[in-house]
Amino acid sequence: MTLKPLADRVVIKRLEAEETTKGGIILTAAAKEKPDLSVVVAVGPGGLVDGKEVTMILKPGDKVITSKYMGTEVKIDGEQLTIVKQSDVVAIVED
């Protein structure tokens, strides 16, 4: 059972704090925002979104920082996932 995000959306899985500290990353929450290290699980097709062409540049496996935690949460087969717009992703983290 899989999630296929629509339009400019991506499915991400938030990495737990214990996982992130291994890589030396500590996230600081700004007021009313929940920045987060996540891994991309699935990517929508992009295309015309609200009349504007959106090209998807994220791909499954990318580790990303999201600016705000505004997505839709869903648990599939015991795995907690979040669906956000690509524009809510502010940076890719590379090793």
Binding site for a second copy (CB under 8 A): 1-7, 9, 11, 23-28, 30, 33, 35, 37, 48, 50-55, 57, 65-67, 71-78, 80, 83, 86-87, 89-95
By beta-carbon proximity to a second copy, the closer residue of 6 and 19 is 6
DSSP string, 30-48: PTT---EEEEEEEE---EE
Nearest approach, Cβ of 14 to a second copy (angstroms)? 12
Nearest distance, CB of residue 18 and a second copy, angstroms: 16
How far apart are the C-alpha atoms of 9 and 25, rounded to whole Å?
Answer: 25
* Structure tokens, 24: 């030396």
Coil/strand/helix, residue 54: strand
